[in-house]
Amino acid sequence: MDWRNPETWEACVRKEPSGCWVWTRTLDRFGYGKVLVTVQGKQYMWLAHRLAFQGLVGPLPDRQQVLHRCDNPPCVNPEHLFLGTPYVNAIDRTVKGRTPRGEAHYAAKLNEVAVRVIRYFLAKGYSQKRIAEAYGIHQRLVSAINVRHTWKHVA
């Protein structure tokens, strides 16, 4: 498949009134388009927006990521894409409110109910170590919950 051919892109995207070119093929678990690409006989899975940028704008400099102005993960419109470092990407994600919090975070070991119960037991005077052992977590996490460094959004 020649990704520099506009007809190929037309077959894989749906152009929205917003200007987004929404990838209509395979998506990853975060909603980004995926493309199976063969390079020198080996197959690789590439993100469609990165492939779109490289094919329609130009090569990616080292340590640069392709970010979305439109904040629409399946969008592959090169006019909606821009380059940024991982740091810029993290700031952009946070400013747009897309940073997963609480149990939506991939590494979450607790849910909101557990956090409320932990705070209840802390208020009753139970030790952080005892609570941590009961939940199978580290005492530092209990401490972070107690001082609201984590799970700030849970009342």
Would residue 107 count as lying in a domain? yes
SS3 111: coil
Is 95 within a domain?
Answer: yes
pTM for this prediction = 0.68
Tell me the pLDDT tens digit for each residue of 3-40: 556 667 778 999 999 999 999 999 999 899 998 888 89
Residues 56 and 107 occupy one common structural domain? no
Domain co-membership, 43 together with 94: yes
Looking at the fold, whether 26 and 72 belong to one and the same domain comes out as yes
State the burial class of residue 130 (Cβ atoms within 10 Å of its Cβ: 0-12, 13-18, 19+): exposed
Is residue 20 located within the same domain as residue 95?
A: yes
Using CB atoms within 10 Å of the CB of residue 104, give its burial: 0 to 12 exposed, 13 to 18 middle, 19+ buried: exposed
Same structural domain, 42 and 93:
yes
Q: Give pLDDT tens digits for 85-135.
A: 999 999 998 898 888 888 888 788 999 999 999 999 999 999 999 999 999
Domain holding 115, by residue range, is 103-146
Task: Place 49 in a pLDDT band, splitting at 50, 70 and 90.
Answer: very high
List, as one string, the DSSP characters of 33-74.
Answer: BEEEEEETTEEEEEEHHHHHHHHHT-PPPTT-EEEESS--TT
Q: Tell me, yes or no, whether 12 and 88 share the same domain.
A: yes
Residue 21's H or E segment, with its range, is strand 21-23
